[in-house]
Structure 1
Amino acid sequence: MKKKWVWGTVSAVMALTLAACSTGTGTSGAGLAGQDGSSTSKVAIAYNNPPLWANWEAVQAKFMENTGIRVPADNKNSGQAMTAMIAEKNKPVADVAYLGITFGPQAVKEGVAEAYKPEHFDEIPAGLKDPDGKWMAVHYGAIAFIVNKDALGNVPVPRSWADLLKPEYKDKVGFLDPTSAAVGYSVVTAANIAMGGTLDNWDPGIQYLKQLEQNGTIHPKQTATAKVMKGEIPILIDADFNGYMMKYNDQAPIEVVIPKEGSLKVPYIVSLVKNGPNQDNGKKYIDFMLSDEGQQLFAQGYVRPIRAVDIPRETKDKFLPESDYARVQSVNYEQMNKVQTEVNERWKNEVTAGK
């Protein structure tokens, strides 16, 4: 299952063709909060909690086992969740929302997030949380090379961004179109950082991507994991967790590589919904997400815990070594969102012009 990647404002989200996971109708939560809708009912409504993504099903099951509080599955993406929260602002339905990190500041701006600092809040890095606790990261992915080794044949697995420019990888590399898929924009950002660029200077990344384009890069508009499995795209630059899912869930001949020059961290956050009908239960749910047990369960879903918790060896061994993840950087994600339109225009005019 491939998670929908969503960045930017709600209006921008509506225009994007996302890198898809599930597309089911989101559970509204209406009628699920108990007869009186009060926080004493044994339910917490969480928007964007699809059971097959990030091990949410196991997280919800263990939370119910520990507390007796049920969290119904919900297949909204971040944009749909934010739209619903704004529409329901005067009479909230949800208690918790799980979102791509750029939606955190937007939730604060729209007045739909409430301050809450759970236990372990201080362990979350400063750039990955609101100072008042209105949003906070719970786990993250990383931009990586997802390589079908069988499709490459005798060609070695690439280890760096520089490797991808070599003739032997011509027509073998792909990533989603950054103008239509948020993960594609994350790839562009990761390449820019790796080449020495910043969110204020995209020249290094644009120059690199122009060279990569000359080597025959493929840009699907939508999810491309099936093309990797079939060998149609031997090397996909995408989120690491999609590679791990193919490798371990589908037993595909996949290797995940964090490039030597560095890469981008892509966090996911959670917010307590302002005036949610079961707010006490929502707080308990957030507490559980950031507990050792919750963080370990997320790791079983191939996303990286935001806290430095002990992960069972059988789970830890499925990830690349910590030394590889030391090369994965955070950025100012709000600024990354603000410059997206400008960067995408440069992509169209300078990288793919004439194609």
Structure 2
Amino acid sequence: MLHGAAAIGALAVTSSTLGGCTSTDANAAARPKPAYYPAAYEEIVDASRREKKVLIYSNTSQTNWQPIFDAFTDNYPWLTDIRATNLGSSAVYERYYSEAATGGSPADLLVSNGGPLWGDYATRNIAADYSSPERSRLPSWAEMMPGIWVFSTDPVVVLYNRKTLDESQYPDGLVSLAEIAEAKPSRFRGKIGVYDPTNAYGYSTNQGYTGSIAGGWATFGRLLPFARADHSSGTLVEKVVSGEYDASFNLSGGVAVPAAEGSGGLLGWSYCREGTVVVPRAASIVKTAPHVNAARLFVDFLLSAEGQGAVAKGGLTPYREGVEQDDQDSLQDVQRKLGPDRVHLYHYTEVPEQTQAAYVARWEKAIG
């Protein structure tokens, strides 16, 4: 789930399976649909049998995707060729815009958690006009902008090294991290990583915190002088693992939590006790999708109860009410742990260039 720059020249794809679609798969029955699905939905299912594949331009890792792909293919055995890139946030859109402008793109869906980039995308009239039958079972913001469907709500967390910090220094948010750094300023200067707000995801997390958390800018004023900015989740995690950073903040829980849980006890993580921002991850079918029916099935699966369980199995945060799973905190779990007034959903919006520039200038003044 790296959000930094990625090579755009060659398409780096991952696939749900190495095998092709057999004639047996093509004739296999799909699993029955819930009663609230329209009868005409079978037309979409039948049309997808001729399409056989889905290509996603994404900034989400194969680790996150694989349980989703596996469960989706169990439902639709003829759709075995499900592929996703692992591009940087901007590259997801730039690749599609460039291809669409020069004769067409092979992409069916775009997937990202880069808030301002979705805002720009929404102005371009690119999203396919499709209303999921799961819509009525989801909160009002599930379709956050026309044709842009939220499928995970990943909290922004702090990741820290449990070996370089004393147990008394384990942070439980940005306020506590600032207090820890201020207690030993020479020790912690330059030892804390933060997502750069010039990056779309970094802007979402930084602005989400200062715009939603009481005293957010004051906390940044205390903490940022100790921090160094990076453009990639992968880099921020790696530097905590190596001990170059004692902690990194404004990381997606979809990256940081699996990294911590797979670290053999080296890494710890925490929500922000004073208030945790949740940045949605969304999918949108593009109007030019060559496999539009398969793409519709995929979006509907992501939003379904079963699909939300697979989202959790991949390390992302489901938000649909009533989903039974033990793999990951759901949005409701986060709200119960922190209190609903301390969980703040970031909403996609178009961010004018001058607005982001003014924010970055204030942020850079604080970081020094």
Same fold (TM over 0.5): yes
1:26 matched to 2:41? The reply is no
Question: How far 1:136 sits from its partner (Å)?
Answer: 1.1
Task: Give the aligned residue type for 1:57.
Answer: Q
**2:289 alignment partner, SS class:** coil
Q: Distance in 2 between matches of 1:25 and 1:86?
A: 16
Q: Which residue matches 1:241?
A: 254
Aligned to 2:40: none
Matched letter for residue 115 of structure 1: D
For residues 108 and 186 of structure 1, what CA distance do their matches in structure 2 show? 16
Distance in 1 (alpha carbons) for counterparts of 2:13 and 2:346? 33
Q: Counterpart in 1 of 2:33?
A: none
Report 1:7-22 matches (<5 A): 18=4
- Tell me the alpha carbon deviations over residues 257-309 of structure 1, each in whole angstroms, 9 at most, x when there is no partner: 11221021111111111032211111111111112221111112221113124
Paired letter, 2:56: A
- The match for 1:62 is 71
TM (norm. structure 1) is 0.77
Q: Does structure 1 residue 115 correspond to structure 2 residue 129?
A: yes
Q: Which amino acid aligns with 1:302?
A: G
Letter in 1 for 2:337: S
Q: For the residues of structure 2 that align with 1:337 and 1:175, how far apart are their CA atoms?
A: 27
**Paired residue for 1:143?**
156
CA pair 150-24 structure 1, distance change in 2 beyond 3 A: farther
Question: What does residue 330 of structure 1 align with?
Answer: 345
| Alpha-carbon distance change, 50 to 220 in structure 1, aligned in 2, over 3 angstroms | closer
Once the two structures are superposed, what CA deviation does each residue of 1:243-265 show, in whole Å capped at 9, x if it has no partner? Answer: 21222223243322112210211
Q: Distance in 1 between matches of 2:312 and 2:212?
A: 26
For 1:275, what is the secondary structure of its paired residue? coil
**Is contact 2:2-2:60 (8 Å) kept?**
no
SS at match of 1:185: helix
- Classify 1:109/1:23 alpha carbon distance in 2 versus 1 (closer, same or farther; 3 Å): closer
2:228 to 210, 218, 243: 218
Q: 1:61 to 1:23 in 2, by over 3 A?
A: farther
- The question of whether the paired residues in 2 share the 8 Å contact of 1:124 and 1:137 is answered with no
Deviations 1:204-262 (Å, cap 9, x if unpaired)? 54433222244x33334542211211233222112223221222223243322112210
Deviation, 1:105, is 3.7
Give per-residue Cα distances to partners, 1:77-102, cap 9 Å, x unaligned: 44223223323435342222212343
Aligned to 1:283: 296
**1:266 counterpart (279, 285, 308):** 279
Provide the C-alpha distance between the structure 2 equivalents of 1:332 and 1:74, rounded to a whole number of angstroms. Answer: 24
Provide the rounded CA distance (Å) in 1 between the counterparts of 2:229 and 2:60: 27
C-alpha displacement of 1:336: 5.5
- Structure 1 portions without partners, runs of 5+: 6-17, 197-203
Matches of 1:97 and 1:344, distance apart in 2: 26
Q: Of 104, 118, 124, which aligns to 1:104?
A: 118
Unaligned runs of 5+ in 2: 15-19, 22-46
3-state SS of 2:320 partner: coil
Match of 2:362 among 336, 346, 355: 346
Alpha-carbon shift at residue 180 of structure 1 (Å): 4.5
Q: Distance in 2 between matches of 1:213 and 1:50?
A: 27
- 1:281 & 1:104 partners in 2: Cα distance? 22
Farther off after superposition, 220-229 or 136-145: 220-229
Percent identity between the two aligned chains:
18
Question: 3-state DSSP class of the match of 1:226?
Answer: helix
2:140 to 118, 123, 126: 126
Secondary structure at the counterpart of residue 115 of structure 1: coil
Mapped to 1, the partners of 2:219 and 2:96 lie a distance apart of: 40
Give the 3-state SS of the residue equivalent to 2:53 in structure 1.
coil
SS in structure 1 of the partner of residue 228 of structure 2: coil
Kindly state the Cα deviation for residue 190 of structure 1 after the two structures are TM-superposed.
Answer: 4.1
Determine the C-alpha separation between the residues in 2 that align with 1:148 and 1:59: 30
Q: Which moved more, 1:260-269 or 1:177-186?
A: 177-186
Does the aligned pair in 2 maintain the 1:145–1:257 contact within 8 Å? Answer: yes
Deviates more, 1:252-261 or 1:165-174: 165-174
Q: When you count strand as a share of all residues, which structure comes out higher?
A: 2
Give the TM-score normalised by structure 2.
0.75
Structure 2 SS opposite 1:176: strand
- Count of residue pairs brought into register by the alignment: 320
CA contact (8 A) 1:25 1:75 kept: no
Residue 110 and residue 183 in structure 1: after superposition, are their counterparts in 2 closer, same or farther (change >3 A)?
closer
Q: Does the 8 A contact of 2:197 with 2:206 survive in 1? A: no
Letter paired with 2:288: N
Q: CA RMSD in A?
A: 3.3
Indicate if the aligned counterparts of 1:46 and 1:72 stay in contact, CA closer than 8 A.
yes
Counterpart AA for 1:351: A
